[in-house]
Structure formats: structure tokens, C-alpha cells
Structure 1
Amino acid sequence: MGLLRYTTVRILQAIPVLIGITVITFVLANLAPGDPVKLMLQGQEVDQEVIRRIERQYGLNRPLHERYVTYMTNILQGDFGQSIHRGRPVEELMLDRAPPTLLLVLSAYAFALVTAIPLGIIAATRRNEPADHVSRIVALIGVSTPSFWIGIMLILVFAIQLGWFPSSGLVYPWRGPDHYGYSGYPELAYQTIKHLLLPMVALGTLQMATLMRVERTQMIESLQGEYVKLARAYGVPERTILRKHAFQVAQLPIITIVGLNLSTALGGAVLTEYVFNINGMGRLFLEAIQQLDYQLIMGITIVIGTMFVVGVIITDISYAYIDPRVTYGERE
């Protein structure tokens, strides 16, 4: 099976998954206790006719299955509907909030990769030494500690006590220095990093700890392989063995974790954005749930689900570029 055919098959397999996500989310959102119209009109004195008119406007007076079919038909036409509480198209709201979330998630992944892989290699090459013990303790703490608690601790120490970093908000580099009144792009870059550092570390710590543990384990297994022993017997330098023989083989599980942990990072971004007062898609999703904004909940869920499925497909395809033994499902 060639690359194109394999990719096509994986995309077709993803369609039922995405449909299942929409069905489950739609049913759960609509069965949640509360009335979105009453929440929208909270604090206002209105009669039942106004409530019925709003329900007809958003189709809330129709049976659940009819509303789902109508919603999916509109989705296939590129229409995610209108937010009940904000009165704006859902796709417009998501486009406004997606860049901060992408900036946060990508920076957290960059932090995790840049720190986890070197630390994992050091721990593997110095097995059962102090550096290895420290790395395992750090990984254990990182895996067992929720991102929002790490964020709160970082704010208390580095923002409130030391005053080194701001406690909330982000500076978006794409808006330019004039938008914030900065003197130029160097100051814009500095402020962007300064505002991004704490939420990036809070969100990326879990990813870093997971990757570091896997990197250490895989590097230990690779360094114990027969091909490594043969290379050492031929007098190949240890640095060459690490770089050319052990490192490449050990990265296959890392690719899997990076692809599959995308959903974890996006889920952690919800609470991280709330703790650091970042107006991203995660915070928007939390607000939509609190307000029972069905259209907005569905739109964000579909986007996140699609991103996760695409990440899994890219992960599968990336295997062949690192491991030539992968044959895309061919049988010998």
C-alpha cells in the first residue's frame, strides 16, 4: 500500500470517528441541565412569547434528532451556526480565539521537546547516577501535578513574590509594536516571551515529563542493543553511537506521544488560559459550557476533534520517514 492510498484510507477511517464525536457532544450538550435562553435573558423580565421566538430563531423548539441533522447539513456547507449568547458566527469567534491557543500550545510543545529529549538522553547515559535520579523525580512530579496548579504556583512565586513576569494575559506578536505602544520589534519580542513564559511552562511541564520518561527508557533499550555493542566493538566513538545508532531508533515512541498528546495539551490549555486570563479557544470553550451555548460548544469540539485526528494521521505517516521497516500495511 503506497503513501497516497494509506493516507486516503486513514482519512476515510477518521470520518466515523468525527461523526461519533459530534453525536456524543451534541446529545450531552443538549441533555445538560439548564435552559440557554433563560441564561441569556437572566436578569431581564420577558414574557413567554419572547422566549418562544428566540427558541424558534435557534431551532431549540425542534426535536433533538432534527436539530442534529440540520446542524450537520449546515456544517457540510461550512456554516457552524451562530452563538446564542454572543450573536456572532461561531467560525468568526473561533478564528478570533484560535491564534492565542495555538501560540500557547505550540510554545508548550517546543519547551517540552527542547528540555525533555536532552534530559532523557543524559539520564539514560548516566543511569543510576545523581543526574538520573533527579530527572526521574522531576518527571514524576511533572506527570502527577496538574497544569493549573503549576500555573498558580508559578504566578505566586515569579509574578507576585519576585515580580519577574506578568501574571496574566499574552502579547501577540502578529499585532505589531504599534498596537501595544512599544518602541519596536525587539521590545515586542521581549514582551511576548515575558508574557508567554509562565503559561508555556505550566502547560508544557506534563508533556516534558512524559517525553523525558519515554526518551530515557527508549535510549536505555537502544544503548543495550546488539548493533550498539557491535559498534563499540569496532571502536566507534560513543558520541557517534549516540547520534547515529541509538538516538534515531529511540525517537519512534516520541513521535507517537507527540501526536497522541495533542488532545491532552488542548485540554490543559482550557484551564491554563483560565488561570492566566488568556482569551484563547480554551477559555471560550469553558464559557460556552457555562452558558450552554450549543452551537459554540459543537464548533469548538469539532475543530479540536479534527485537529486530534489529523495529528494521529500525521503521526502514522511520519513513522515511515524514520523507520524504513514501516510499509503502510503491506503484507509480505
Structure 2
Amino acid sequence: MGLLRYTTYRLVQAIPVLIGVSILTFALANLTPGDPVRLMLQGQEADQETIERIEAQYGLDQPIHERYLTYMGGLVQGDMGHSFHRNASVAELITNRIGPTLLLVLSAYVFALATSIPLGIIAAKRRNDPFDHVSRIVALFGVSTPSFWIGIMLILIFAVQLGWLPSSDLVYPWWSPETYGHDGYGEHFYQVIRHLLLPMIALGTLQMATLMRVERTQMIESLQGEYVKLARAYGVPERTIMRKHAFQVAQLPIITIVGLNLSTALGGSVLIEFVFDINGLGRLFYEAIIQLDYQLIMGITMIIATMFVIGVVITDIAYAYIDPRVTYGESE
């Protein structure tokens, strides 16, 4: 089975999963106590006729199963609906907010991978040395500490006390320097990094700690393998053994964790966006839940679910590139 065919096959398999997510989300959102129309008209005087007119406008006067089928019919055609509380389509709102969230999540993953893999390898090579003990303490701290608390501590230390870094908002690299009044692209990207550094570390610490523990464990196991002992017996240099024999095998669990932890990172971005006052998708999702904006809740949920499914498919494909024993669904 070729790469394209396998990818298509896995995406088709994901369709029932996405349908299940849509049913569960739609049911939970619509069964939540509260009236979205009255929340929309909060602070305004409205008679029953006005309320009924608005309900009919958004289809809220229909049974829940009819509303679901109507929504899914529009979704298949690319229509994600219209927000109850904002004068904009759901697709437009998500497009405007998804950029900061993707920037935050991807940068957190870059930070996690760039730090966890080298630290895990060094800890495995220096097993039971002081460096190894310190790395395990750091990993334990990272997996047991909430990301929002880390974010608050980073703000207090580096923004409030030292004044080195900003404590809120992001500078978007896809906007021009003139938008922020920066003197050229050099200063612009410098400010991008300054504003991104603290939220990136706060969100990526959990991923970094998890990956570092797994990397250390897998590298220790690989270095104790018979193929490594045989390579050493033949006089293969230690650097070659680490790079070509031990390292490549140890990365398979890392790929799995990176793919499956995408949902964790997206969920953690909600709190980080509030701590650092970032107008991203997570914050929009929270506002939609508070306002019972059903269409917006559904739209964001389906986007996140789709991103997770794509991440899992990419993880499966990456397996075959790293491990030649893994094939694209071919039978023996």
C-alpha cells in the first residue's frame, strides 16, 4: 500500500471518529442549562415575540436531532454556521484566532523537542551521575506542575521582578514590521521571540518533561541492546553507535507521544492564553462556552478534532520513515 493510499485510508477511518465527536459535542452543548437567546439579549428588554423570532432565525425552535442534521448538512458543504453573539461567521472567527494558537503550540513543541532529546541522551549516557539526578528532578517537576502556574511564576520573575520580557500578548511574525512600528524585520522577529518566549516555555514544559523521561528510558534500553554491544565489539566509534544505532530506535516512542499529546497541548493553550492575554482559539472556545454559542462551540471542536486526527496520521507515516520494519498497512 503506497503512502497516498495509506493516508487516504487512515483519513477515511477517521470520519466515524469525527462524527462521534460532533454528536457528543452537539448534545452536551445543547443540553447545558441556559438559554443562548436570553444571554444574547442580556441587558436588553425583549418580549416573547422577539425571542421566538431570534430562535427561528437560528433554528433553535427545532428539535435537537433536526438541528444536528441541519448543522452537519451545512458542515459537509463547508458552512460552519454563524455565531450567535458575534456579527461574523464561525469560519471567519476561527480563521482570525487560530494563528496565535498554532504559533503557541508549535513553538512549545519546538522548545520541548529541542531541549528534551539532548537532555534525555546526556542523562542516559551519564546514568546515575549528578546530571542524571538533576534531569529526573526537572522532569518530575515538569510533569507534576500545572502549566498556568509555571506561566504565572515566569511572569512574576522575568516580567515583573526583572523586567526582561513582556508578560502579555504576542507579536505575530506574519504581520509586517510597520504594523507594530518596528524598524525592519530584524527588530520585528526579535520582538516576536521576546513575546513568545514565556508562554512557549509555560506550555512546553509539560511536553519537555514527558519527552525527556521517555528519551532517557529508551536510550538506556537501546544502549543495553545486543546490537550495540556487537557494534562496540567490532570497534565502531561511540558517536556512530549513538547516532546510527541507539538514537534512531529510541525515537519511535517519542513520535507516538508527540502525535498523541497534540490534544493535551491544545487544551493547555486555553489556560496559557488567559494567563498571557493572548487572543487565540482557546480563549475563543472558552468565551463560546460561557455564552452558549452552539455554532461556535461546534466549529472549534471540529477543527481541534480534525487537527488531532491529522496529527495521528502524520505520526503513523513518520513511523514508517524511521523504522523500516513498519509498512503502510501491507500484509505479510
- TM-score normalised over the length of structure 1: 0.98
Describe the SS at the equivalent of 2:236: coil
Distance in structure 1 (CA, Å) of the matches to 2:171 and 2:24:
36
Q: What value does the CA root-mean-square deviation take over the aligned residues?
A: 0.9
Counterpart of 1:330, as a letter, is E
Give the 5 Å matches for 1:258-297: 258-297=258-297
Counterpart of 1:37, as a letter, is V
Distance in structure 1 (CA, Å) of the matches to 2:329 and 2:294:
40
Distance in structure 2 (CA, Å) of the matches to 1:192 and 1:330:
45
- Deviation string 1:261-303 (CA, Å, 9 cap, x unpaired) is 1101100111100110000111100111111100000000000
Does structure 1 residue 301 correspond to structure 2 residue 301? yes
Uncovered stretches (5+) of structure 2, i.e. residues with no partner: none
Distance in structure 1 (CA, Å) of the matches to 2:122 and 2:40:
55
Deviates more, 1:8-17 or 1:301-310: 8-17
- Deviation string 1:149-187 (CA, Å, 9 cap, x unpaired) is 111111111111111111110011211111111111111
- Deviation string 1:198-246 (CA, Å, 9 cap, x unpaired) is 0000000000001101100110010000010011111111111101110
Q: Partner of 2:223 in structure 1? A: 223
Query: What is the Cα deviation at residue 313 of structure 1?
Result: 0.8
Does structure 1 residue 160 correspond to structure 2 residue 160? yes
Query: What is the Cα deviation at residue 114 of structure 1?
Result: 0.2
Q: Partner of 1:37 in structure 2? A: 37
Q: Partner of 1:127 in structure 2? A: 127
Count, aligned residues:
332
Identity %: 78
Counterpart of 2:176, as a letter, is G
Q: Partner of 1:182 in structure 2? A: 182
Counterpart of 1:257, as a letter, is I
Query: What is the Cα deviation at residue 12 of structure 1?
Result: 1.6
Uncovered stretches (5+) of structure 1, i.e. residues with no partner: none
Query: What is the Cα deviation at residue 255 of structure 1?
Result: 0.7
Give the 5 Å matches for 1:69-108: 69-108=69-108
Distance in structure 1 (CA, Å) of the matches to 2:82 and 2:7:
33
Distance in structure 1 (CA, Å) of the matches to 2:314 and 2:37:
41
Q: Partner of 1:6 in structure 2? A: 6
Distance in structure 1 (CA, Å) of the matches to 2:2 and 2:240:
33
Counterpart of 2:281, as a letter, is M
Query: What is the Cα deviation at residue 4 of structure 1?
Result: 3.3
Does structure 1 residue 47 correspond to structure 2 residue 19? no
Counterpart of 1:159, as a letter, is A
Distance in structure 1 (CA, Å) of the matches to 2:63 and 2:149:
42
Distance in structure 2 (CA, Å) of the matches to 1:191 and 1:51:
48
Distance in structure 1 (CA, Å) of the matches to 2:134 and 2:127:
11
